[in-house]
Amino acid sequence: MSEQQVAVVTGANSGIGRATAIHLAQQGMRVLGTVRAAAKAEKLLAMAAAAGVTVEIVELDVADDESVRVGFEQIFAAAGRVDHLVNSAGVGGNAVAEECPSDLYNDVFNINVTGAVRCAQAVLPAMRERQSGTIVNITSVAGRIAALAQSPYVASKWALEGVSEGMAQELAPFGIRVAIVEPGVTKSAIFAKNIDAPNSTGAYDDHYRRMFQFYGAGMMNATDPFEVGKVIHHAIATDSPVLRYPVSWAGAEMAGLHDRIDDADWLELGMVADDDAYMARFQEIFGVDIRTS
């Protein structure tokens, strides 16, 4: 009998992380889910129990070096190994570049980029020694398209795409697979929390309104996070891996189009003054209807 695979899923308390932790457990893996506060993991534990599986909880804050060190010490002490790491922990961040405080860039990067790197660094020495393992980094469609009025979030997800591409080549000689999963709009608490529209200058009303228009349409069509969990399991288990896996509403359309969008079209979209004309042109370029009525 083959040894049970061990998966660690960060950000397991909600959304994609929670769904992925439960789905991987349903596929027979031993799953350890990291959360910032174990006392707030009741819904995760209840959903896992309802699905007939167990997800073990580990308190860990990906934004803190010492917390990651201690958390992964506990993980290795409990499970002995980590075969698959899913970096799902993340935060949003709304602001146009002119209005974005530097500390917001730093905070979002520290979680979305450096947090993923911290966790990868914790598991890679043992993976290299075994010559096997998988790192799955959850980026976003905003890691391929510069989503409007979300400068810190976009910057962090583009950065994680670059880190992931580099890791894929760096780790290939050691038999370690890297997968980039790029969700579009998925049912998740991150959207309910991500409602800031700073507009401190008053100059960017159109930008914030159109950003919320996109997510308003997205939430009407949002993908169940368990669909993302299935894609993540496929990325881990497939015998024909690829580097990128777009998923969820608008994910495949927008991520796949980035390199085929003419720069002039991109700039012209920003010049469209009328909202209806903007939404029509958006659909022409991306093939995604962001109308909500």
Q: Which residues are catalytic?
A: 153
Contact 62, 89 (CB under 8 A): yes
Distance CA 15, CA 34 (A): 13
Output 75-82 pairs: Cβ under 8 A, ≥24 positions apart. 75/8, 75/32, 76/126, 78/32, 79/6, 79/30, 79/32, 80/6, 81/6, 81/126, 81/130, 82/6, 82/7, 82/8, 82/123, 82/126, 82/127, 82/133
Q: Tell me the two tokens of residue 36.
A: 């910032």
Which DSSP category does 36 fall into? S
Report whether 219 contacts 238 (CB < 8 A). no
